[in-house]
Chain A
Amino acid sequence: MSNIILGRYIDGDSIIHRMDSRAKLILSLYFIVIVFLCNNWQTYALLGIFTLGCVLLSKIKMSFFIKGVRPLIGLILITVLLQLFFTSGGTVYWQWGPFKLTSFGIINSIYIFCRIVLIVLMSTLLTVTTTPLEIADGLESLMAPLRKIRVPVDEIALMISIALRFVPTLMDETQKIINAQRARGVNFGEGNLFKQAKMLIPILIPLFVNSIKRAEDLAVAMEARGYQGGPNRTKYRQQHWHLADTIGIVVFLALTGGLVLLRG
């Protein structure tokens, strides 16, 4: 669990940290779209340099980003190998049954590799520079237009924020239950797959029952504090759109222009 970097916030003070979460969310999604505009080495070079610039701006050590890519190595490798051996066209260097190594295949697999790495870098950049809470706030305000089609945006936002708040609490509790069951003689992580799955029951059932208890307590506490649901609430956490956010959007638009020009 501890080696997953994607989705973990690292405190810092940089332009990217201070940007509005709404801007960061929109731009990260937009980045994934414009990655697909790339179709030659110039465009990939431009995007690569741009991503590297963003990473440097965040003042976070490169090693964090490398760790972010690491768990996905298997996935990247499979995709790259599939591209490498199953793309036809161009000069054929080597062939064996359905497998063939072609010039197109080599180029395509390099492009795919770059594409995945760029997307992973950008999403890691989003999650390491934005707290989960800011992401939830950003999502809430981006979902606001959905209120018109009767999507309960406020309830969804509250649910996300409570869920995030209880993640560490439930993690602690899980660990406690695991230790308590161990002390009573349960051996975790032994035997075949079926046996291991069965061992999870003494963890999951108490966790489930306790969660219901917690939910009840929390509901009573919320009601006692005047929570009536719905959109009739003011917000303590405020989001501020800064100049940096506008500049960020302009830069991304300029980047899109550059990519379109360089496209072969």
Chain B
Amino acid sequence: MPLIQIQDLTYEYDDFKLGPLNLEIEKDQWISVIGRNGSGKSTLARLIDGLIEAQSGTVTVDGLEVNEQNVWQIRSQIGVVFQNPDNQFVGANVEDDVAFGLENRQLSHAEMVKRVSESLEAVGMTEFAKHEPSRLSGGQKQRVAIAGILAIRPQIIILDEATSMLDPEGRRELIQLIRHLKDQYHFTVIAITHDIDETVFSDQIIVLDQGKIRMQGRPADVYRNRDQLMDLGLDLPFVEKLKFKLQENGLAELKDDEILDEKEMVAKLWQLNSNM
């Protein structure tokens, strides 16, 4: 049974319509949801977490249907990192913010102290425990948000454009950190983004446009439809773009290779170079 199952889901507001969507997400996967502004990505995330209610259809998380009775139980399995680092920082300082979710779950003080220090350690923010949010950078605040989520030990982490307000350095670090944590804690990641470079290491990419799934599949399969991606207002990741340009300029050998990151690209070019 898949971890998240979405059946005939629809949601409407103003002149926007999401769905009908059908989607299955397996355990321990990294799912990227991509699409241009207003394609319904964030709405989808909020529907999964029960923050908004669907007009029709069902979302099932870990065997429980998202509805009014189950919503708090489901939320305890899901952690969401939102876009704006400032607006989701509830606590007066770092450790307070990490403890917020634990306070809501009525954990004992001793357990909270243990989990807060563990989570801060995991995101590398231990030395900032007493700092106020105004003394942290955007990337550091997002790390704290992740620590707050790790502390509740969720099965699913949703990144709702969590990197969109960070500088390139901060983005890279944050994505690296989550990949590293995913290996360690084994959770499912649903990463919502409009930066296609962040989709490179996902197990599955879902391309949304105007509330509908246009493409779905492994990164290599999705990137192959270059023209269709362009039509949807999306671009290719850097390595794919390079591959495409090299092909255009006569390096036909690259055509069917699955090259996902820069390292593989460099290795491939070395290999081709020595064959010539």
Question: Residues on A close to B: CB < 8 A?
Answer: 133, 161-162, 164-165, 168-169, 172, 213-214, 217-218, 220-228, 232-238
Contacts and interface: CB of A to CB of B under 8 A. Distances in A.
A12 B80 CA distance: 37
Given A225-B148, A226-B75, A226-B101, A168 B88 contact: no
B109 A221 contact: no
B103 interface: yes
A217 B80 CA distance: 12
Contact of B104 (A133, A168, A218, A226): A226
B92 A227 contact: no
B104 A225 contact: yes
A234 B132 contact: no
Contact of A234 (B80, B92, B108): B108
B185 interface: no
Contacts, number: 90
Given A169-B133, A172-B134, A217 B87 contact: yes
Contact of B152 (A164, A213, A226, A237): A226
Given A165-B92, A165-B132, A217 B109 contact: no
Given A218-B90, A234-B112, A236-B95, A224 B51 contact: yes
Contacts of B108: 234
B102 interface: yes
Interface of A is mostly: helix
Given A220-B51, A224-B49, A233-B103, 13 more contacts: A165-B90, A168-B134, A169-B86, A214-B87, A217-B82, A218-B87, A218-B88, A224-B51, A224-B78, A225-B79, A225-B149, A236-B103, A236-B113
Contact of B87 (A161, A164, A221, A234): A221
14 contacts: A161-B92, A165-B90, A165-B92, A218-B87, A218-B88, A224-B49, A225-B149, A226-B72, A226-B104, A227-B104, A228-B72, A235-B103, A236-B96, A236-B112
A226 B90 contact: no
Contact of A162 (B90, B106, B109, B134): B90
Given A169-B133, A218-B90, A225-B148, A234 B107 contact: yes
A222 B90 contact: yes
Interface in B104-161: 104-109, 112-113, 116, 132-134, 148-149, 152
B51 A168 contact: no
A213 B82 CA distance: 14
Nearest to B87: A217
Given A164-B92, A235-B109, A225 B101 contact: yes
Contacts of B101: 225-226
Nearest to B101: A225
Given A225-B148, A233-B103, A220 B72 contact: no
A165 B109 contact: no
Contacts of A222: 90, 100
A236 B113 CA distance: 8
Contacts of B84: 217
A127 B80 CA distance: 37
A233 B49 contact: no
A52 B46 CA distance: 58
B89 interface: yes
Given A226-B101, A226-B105, A228-B104, A236 B116 contact: yes
A233 B92 contact: no
B107 A217 contact: no
Contacts of B89: 165
A221 B82 contact: yes
B90 A221 contact: yes
Nearest to B106: A234
Contacts of B78: 224
B99 interface: yes
Nearest to B45: A224
A233 B104 contact: yes
A91 to B, nearest CB: 57
Contacts of B152: 225-226
Contacts of A235: 103, 109
B8 to A, nearest CB: 25
Contacts of B102: 234, 236
A233 B101 CA distance: 10
Nearest to B135: A168
Nearest to B71: A223
Contact of A238 (B87, B88, B109): B109
Contacts of B75: 223-224, 226
Contacts of B91: 165
Contacts of A236: 95-96, 99, 102-103, 109, 112-113, 116
Q: Which of B78, B86, B108, B148 is packed against the most chain A CB atoms within 10 Å? A: B86
Nearest to B84: A217
B90 A225 contact: yes
B45 to A, nearest CB: 10
